[in-house]
Structure 1
Amino acid sequence: MALLPRVLAYAVAATSLVGAAQAQDDDERRIVMVTHGQAADPFWSVVKKGAEDAADEVGADLEYRAPTNFDVARMQQLVEAAIASEPDALILSLVDPDALGDLAQEAADSGLPVIVINTGGHVADEYGADIFIGSDPKLAGKRAAERMIEDGAEKGLCINQEQGNVALDLRCEGFEEGFDGNAEQLATGSDPTEIRNSLVAYLNQNSDVDALLSLGPLATDPIIDEMREQGALEQFHFGTFDLSPTILEALVAEEIDFAIDQQPYLQGYQGVVTANQSAKHLLMPATDLLTGPAFVTPETAEEVQELTEKGVR
């Protein structure tokens, strides 16, 4: 009988140890995601939703950080602050490898899982990243050109609202390659009025252009509005990257030909899931995860419209 209290004591101690281990295992892993995405861009709101949904599901503490406007210097500061805060994992868009690559390498050298999403997949492994999750921008641009040429296009124009953003530059590069050099690039700022005025001025000087590729809603939405006002949408083969209500409406109305969807929800969602599994279980996929390019056309636009209301497309 004298042994019973001791046995109970051991049982209680063992239970306490198991409970402590369980509590430690259940502690939320803190994941910081730093992107170049602007708050006004519908694309990045979908990335963020995917990341937040994943964090809720896996029990991670997610901190999403981004500059107010496209600003590589500000993004550098955000990445530096993220590393200094010693998170359990870092997710970032490698929008300018020259400016951000060394920081990614610093994070990797410190033992952090480093997940690159959306931009910089072509050099992510050179800067210590464990994996890239996103689309192949050059391939997407090339396929856009090929679709337009198949439909009869002869001269292309790629409208780049963030020249210096490596992903956007690669999209235009692929587009020009797909046109076998018979395409040019128009660099604009991100202000809608500037985009509209720059495009109108260019087209007035280059009447042989019959195919337009814009690189996201920030540029595409004002271009669609301008071309509608001029009754000129049907005069061009017109494709864009990414989705917005305006883009989907134009697709449903068959005013534009396609939108290239890189599935931003998956970029955010899989980024957090992958970072969490690496921090928690030391698990990492052996290859990059490509989320695009996928094409949304007038035939599929209505179905995609319904999914955008849920914030996943």
Structure 2
Amino acid sequence: MTNHARTQNRFRRAAAGLALTGALAIAAAGCASGGSASAGAAAESDGSGIEGKRISYISFGQQYEFIVGLTTTLEDKLTEAGATVTTLDGKSDPNLQTTQVQDALAQQPDALIIDPVDPALMTAAIQKANQQGVPVFIVESLPEGVDYTSFVGYDNVAAGALGAQTLAAAINDEGTVLQLQGGEASKQANERKEGFDAEMEDHPNIEVRDLKTEWTAENANTMVLDAFTTDPGIAGIWSHNDEMIRGAVEALRHLGKTAVAGEDGHVVIVGHDGTPLALNRIREGVQDATVVYDAIEMGSLTADNIIAFFAGEDFPEDTIIDPFIADSSNVDDDSLWGNLPALN
């Protein structure tokens, strides 16, 4: 069974209100930063189960559809298991997240879930949790020099490469493309750029122009408008998230570049995340594809690890989820997290 097929099966169980499993075909890798061994951590649990446990979740930022999907899954699964989850909106602000971790630790939670905006700035806060003996469950980006109970991440380098392959094929391996970048301090953005740039080295007839759009649609709108004003013949756009495409599309509309996929003059657009809006744009022919970053899977696997920890059961310390493409061929598949009824 393929990775995608496994994801489809689990999502359908979630949509039916059943528990998602952690059986996705994933790559488990040891982390260079080091962390508490999951089996050992499980053995140290009192084994009384998760019911009644208080869990604080420091989210990346609730302005992103991906984070809403991740948060919804975490909250629903942990609450159903009997825990109390307090979610704090990091608002893409690493300094705010540092304060939120300190405030959360003052309440002496039974566990912390952290999705770092800037992993380097989160190290000291997580070390404080280590000192207090609070188990830390990390998602998306792993800071160095910290102990953690589990990490559920994503292969951002592979995602960037997949975005490059998809875009290159769609523009017939020739032309100028824009790369809309995430935050300069973001490990996810840097890794997506790394994968994209490395793959584009194999496509010498494609010129890549980087735009420092910092994750936001507003920045994308201004910078894409400027880029196309200077060079109307730009063939395609790769964006580190689907949110920035919203601004890019508005810029293209302002310039009268409204041709959809299959029409002359269409600007090929490949995004990242697989959000509900991205899937709708694919249906409309405005966006060509998105590299799917499975928010439901990430939230489910993290919740599974927390439940296993408090039950004294073994679970993987490190889990890496693989990306895949959503395009016109599978956009209506109910396995895609962006098609989750609660988000539409």
Task: Give the TM-score band, short-chain normalised.
Answer: 0.7 to 0.9
Partner in structure 1 of residue 54 of structure 2 = 30
Gaps (5+ residues) in structure 1? 1-23
Higher helix content, 1 or 2: 1
Q: How does 1:1-313 map to 2 (within 5 A)?
A: 27-37=51-61, 39-67=62-90, 69-118=91-140, 120-121=141-142, 123=143, 126-151=145-170, 152-154=172-174, 155-180=176-201, 182-189=207-214, 192-206=217-231, 209-229=234-254, 230-232=256-258, 234=260, 235-278=266-309, 280-304=310-334, 308-311=339-342
The Cα of 1:222 is off from its aligned counterpart by: 2.3
Please tell me whether the aligned partners of residues 160 and 214 of structure 1 are also in contact (alpha carbons under 8 angstroms): yes
Please tell me whether the aligned partners of residues 308 and 315 of structure 2 are also in contact (alpha carbons under 8 angstroms): no
| Residue type at the aligned position of 1:146 | Q
Please tell me whether the aligned partners of residues 34 and 75 of structure 1 are also in contact (alpha carbons under 8 angstroms): yes
In 2, the alpha carbon distance for the partners of 1:306 and 1:167 equals 19
In 2, the alpha carbon distance for the partners of 1:272 and 1:188 equals 32
Figure out how many residues of one structure are paired with residues of the other and give that number: 286
In 2, the alpha carbon distance for the partners of 1:306 and 1:177 equals 28
In 2, the alpha carbon distance for the partners of 1:112 and 1:65 equals 17
Partner in structure 2 of residue 21 of structure 1 = none
Deviations 1:111-166 (A, max 9, x none): 22211112x14x56x42123221311122011211222233233432212433222
Distance 1:285 1:198, change over 3 A: same
TM-score normalised by structure 1 residue count: 0.80
Q: Which has the higher contact order (CA 8 A, sep 6+)?
A: 2
Distance 1:66 1:306, change over 3 A: closer
Deviations 1:253-274 (A, max 9, x none): 3332211111112222322231
The structure whose Rg is larger is 1
Please tell me whether the aligned partners of residues 49 and 307 of structure 2 are also in contact (alpha carbons under 8 angstroms): no
| Residue type at the aligned position of 1:268 | G
Distance 1:184 1:177, change over 3 A: farther
Gaps (5+ residues) in structure 2? 1-47, 261-265
TM-score normalised by structure 2 residue count: 0.74
| Residue type at the aligned position of 1:201 | D
